[in-house]
Structure 1
Amino acid sequence: MSRHPARPLPPCPSAAAEHPPVFGPDAPWLAPLAGYSDLPFRLLCREYGAAVCVTEMVSAKGLVYHSPGTADLLRTLPEDQPLVVQLFGAEAAFLEQAVSLLREAGYGWFDLNMGCSVPKVLKQKAGAAMLGDVENALAVARAMIAAAGPGHVGFKLRLGLDDGRPVWRDLALRLQDAGAGWLTLHPRTARQSFGGEARHEALAALAPQLSIPLLASGDLFSAEDGLRVQAATGASGVMYARGALHDPAIFAAHRALQRGEPAPPATPRRLRAIIDRHIALARRHCDDAAVLWKMRSVVPRYVKHLPGARALRQALCRCTSWTALQDILEEFLPG
C-alpha cells in the first residue's frame, strides 16, 4: 500500500516520550467524544483537572488518504499533554500506516476504538463491530503495537456485540499479551448502545486478571459516580464522557473528593465561568463563525438542569452574533 502525497499532519509540538499517559485514582481521563473533545474542550477540561485527554475518533483510512477535516481533529498544543490519539478502522494495514504517520509527526500514544456502536462506524466493520471478529481485532492491535511500540497503544472495549457473544475477558487478556499499554472497558454490549445500565461488575472481574492499567467507563455522570465505581471495581482509574460534557468541572470535583475534600459547589457563577472560558478558548483556537454555531449547542448542555433552560435554548436558536450571545448569557446567567 503506497502513501498518498498531501499536506503533512499537524505536528505534536512536544516530545511524546516526555508526556506519557498517567493512571491512578487521582488522575481522571477525558474520553474521546466525537464532535465534542476538540482542542478547546480538551484545554478546558485540563484546566479543571483532567489528567489525560483523548482526541475525537479519527479514521485511520481517512488519515492515510488525507481526508478533509482529519488534520483539525489532531490539532494540539504543548499544554494539551498528555494526549492520546484515538483511531478507528478494521484493516491492519491502514491502522499500522496511520500510527506510523502519526509517529513521524511526533504523536506517541494511541487508542483503538472497539466500542463505538454508531451505525456508520459499524458498517465499516470498525468500532464495536470488531468484537465480532476477535482474530482480526488482534491482528489490528498487533499492527498498531508494532508501529507504536509496546505500551504505547490502549484499547477501548465493550462486553461484546450482544449478551450471547461476550468476548471482553478473553480479548482483554490477549490484548495484554500482545503488548497493550492499557485497556478501557465500557461494560455494555454493542446492542445496548447507551441503554440500560453499565455492568460494572465486569470491571471488578477483569481488574485482578490484568497487570496493565484498566480504566472504567460507562454511567459516570458525576464525580461521586466515578469514585464509587473506582472503589467498587478496583479499576486503575476512570474515564469521564457524558459527565464531562455536562460539567467539565467534574475533574476538579473528582480530585477534591479523592483527597477527602468537598467538591467545589455547582453555583450559577461557576457555571458562567465555565461557559465564558469555553467560549474564550474556542474563539482563540477555532474559526470564529463556526465556533458561534457550535456554542449554540454547547451552552444548552451545560444549563439543562437549571430553571429557564428551555427559554435559553430558544433564545440561542435566534442568536447570530457574539454580542447577542453575551446578552443572552447576561440575562440567564448574570456574572
Structure 2
Amino acid sequence: MIADQSDTAGNNPRNGKPFLVGLNTTGDGSNSFLQATVFVPSETFDATAIDPDNTTRQWSPVTIENARIKSGDDFIYSNTYASDINKNLVVLGASKRRGDKRENGAAANRMFLAEISLGADSGYSTPTARYFDELNNNSGIFFRGVGGEPGAINNFNEIVGAVDAEQSTEYFGKKRRQRGFIYPFNGRGSETERMAIFQGKPWLLDDLTNGGKYSSQNNQYRIVDAADINDDGVIAATALKCEGGYDSTGHNSYCGNGQKKERVVAVKLIPIANEADRSIETRGVDAPPVERKGGSLGWMALILLGFFGLRRNK
C-alpha cells in the first residue's frame, strides 16, 4: 500500500512509497519463528531499479511488537501474521494462541491492528499490535478470548472479517460458530460521518442486513465471512443461503425447521444510500425447542422396588 501521511509527514522520504505486510522468519537460538512483519521501504526506494545481484535492499522487515511468539521466556503464540494495510498505515493481522495458552476456553486466532506514524524527517514509529478484544474492553462482539479471521481494511479504517459468534468452550468441545463483522476503527483517516453510521462500534453483518424494506430478502442469508471492503463500503462476503428465507430472523434460526439444506454462496453487501432508510435492528437468538416425553416404570421394576423396600424394613 502506498503511504499517504502528507498532512504530518510530507517531507518524509518514505511517504508516498509502498509499505508491505505479511510474515517473516526470525531466529531465536535454535528456534525459527513465523511472525507478523511490516516491510518498510528504504529512504531511497526506487521501484524501477534493477539489481541482478540483489545487493540493494528496497525494503527492511520490522517485526510487529506485542505480536511476537515469545514473551520473555514464555511461548504465547504458535505464529502471527499481518494480512492487510491501508494508506494511513493501519495494519491488520492476527496471532494464533498456542494450544496450552487458552483463554476463555479457546486457543483463538486473536485479531489485531497496529499503526505506523511517519516522522517529519525520515523516521517512523515501531508498529505495536493492539488486540480487538482489548480495544473494545472485552465487550460486545469482541468478548474476552474471542477469535476470528481478519479480512481487509479500507482507507476509512473500516475492517471486515469473520469473528466468533458464540462463547462456547472449544477445549474438548466443538468449534465456535463464526459470522462476518465490520469494525469502524477510529484512527488516522477515519471520518466522523461514516463512523456515525455504525454508531462508532463493531457489528455482526447479520445485524446490518436485518430490518427495513430489504429484511425479507436478506433473511435468506447469514453472513459467515467478509473478505474485502472498498472505500465505497461495498463488502465482498460469503454467506449461507436458505432458499425462501430462514424460519425466523434470529441469528441461529433453522432453515425449513432443520430439514432444508443451506448453500454456501458469494454475496456483495451494498450500503443503503438513503440515510432515512438506514436503521440497525439487531437479530435475536432463538431458543432451541425442548421436547419432553413422559416415562414409566414397568411392572417388574415395581416388584423389585417393593422387594428392596421390604429388605430395608427387616
Q: TM-score, normalised by structure 2?
A: 0.26
Q: TM-score, normalised by structure 1?
A: 0.25
**Higher alpha-carbon Rg:** 2
